[in-house]
Amino acid sequence: MGEDVYIVPTILTDNPQVFLTQLNAYQQFAKRIQVDLMDGTFTSTRSLPESAIAQLPPKVAIDIHLMTAKPSDHLQQILRLKPSLCILHAESNENLLPFFAEFKKAGIKSGVALLPGTYPEIVKPYLDVADHALIFAGSLGKQGGQANLLQMEKIKLVRKLNPNIEIGWDGGANLSNIRTLAHSGLNLINVGSAITNAQNPADAYQQLIEESKKRGVL
């Protein structure tokens, strides 16, 4: 199903100018972009706060991956920005269901992210109502980590619990493993450093798409 997989560039930075530069560049070639926001508590590093983002571009779908232990601290800013999708972590300290309800009222899709140690069955109440499940398999709060491909086992488990949910991958995706990931049952693959650190991000993005669609021996 490689042809059905979205390749989604991700932005992770604490620098407002870098954020704007990457956002402007990526929307020239991508239809969907993930913005990683971190509170510095749930993660070891802190990103640009959502309050520093004036607005999101209207012509491209923006997913926000909110890495925080307390989503309630960020709810009003998320509602203000109104991304296409907001992904919260199953491991946060708060019940996510009320946030999903608020997102739905605002026309925002809801997502739940699972860290490597979180089993899908444990968070079934979230998977039952979420629009998106994010399988996190990299280094939390950093780009350029190595993908833990053993996490692909969760794809079938999540799909069994909710056949209609969109399933994404976050962590270590690059040209050497994109084909394996694309044919694993995922709907989208978030890509960080393989695009961000490329000499020509647009060319790198296109190469990833082409590789993801290849079939045959991996």
Domain ranges of the chain: 2-212
CA distances from 84 to 13, 106, 111, 190, 208 (A): 20, 10, 11, 15, 23
- What is the spatial distance between Cα 69 and Cα 41, in angstroms, rounded to a whole number? 7
82 with 58: CB under 8 angstroms?
no
pLDDT of residue 1: 41
- What is the spatial distance between Cα 215 and Cα 218, in angstroms, rounded to a whole number? 8
pLDDT of residue 141: 57
Q: Give Rg (Cα) of the chain.
A: 16
SS3 111: strand
pLDDT of residue 215: 76
As separate numbers, helices (DSSP H) first and strands (DSSP E) second, the chain gives: 8, 8
pLDDT of residue 18: 95
pLDDT tens for each residue of the chain, 218 residues long? 444 799 999 999 999 999 999 999 999 999 999 999 998 888 878 899 898 999 999 999 999 999 999 999 999 999 999 999 999 999 999 999 999 999 999 999 999 999 999 999 999 999 999 999 999 997 675 555 778 999 999 999 999 999 999 999 999 999 999 999 999 999 999 999 999 999 999 999 999 999 999 876 55
> CB under 8 Å to 182, separation ≥6 — which residues?
1, 2, 5, 189, 211, 212, 213
Nearest residue to 65 (alpha-carbon basis) of 8, 122, 128, 16? 8
Give the amino acid at 176: S
DSSP letter at 65 equals: E
Fold adopted by 2-212 = TIM Barrel (3.20.20)
Tokens representing residue 123 in the block: 């968070």
Q: Which residue has the tokens 């694309």?
A: 182
pLDDT of residue 93: 94
- What is the spatial distance between Cα 154 and Cα 28, in angstroms, rounded to a whole number? 33
pLDDT of residue 2: 41
The reply to whether the predicted model has a pTM over 0.85 is yes
pLDDT digits 0-9 by tens, 145-192: 778 999 999 999 999 999 999 999 999 999 999 999 999 999 999 999
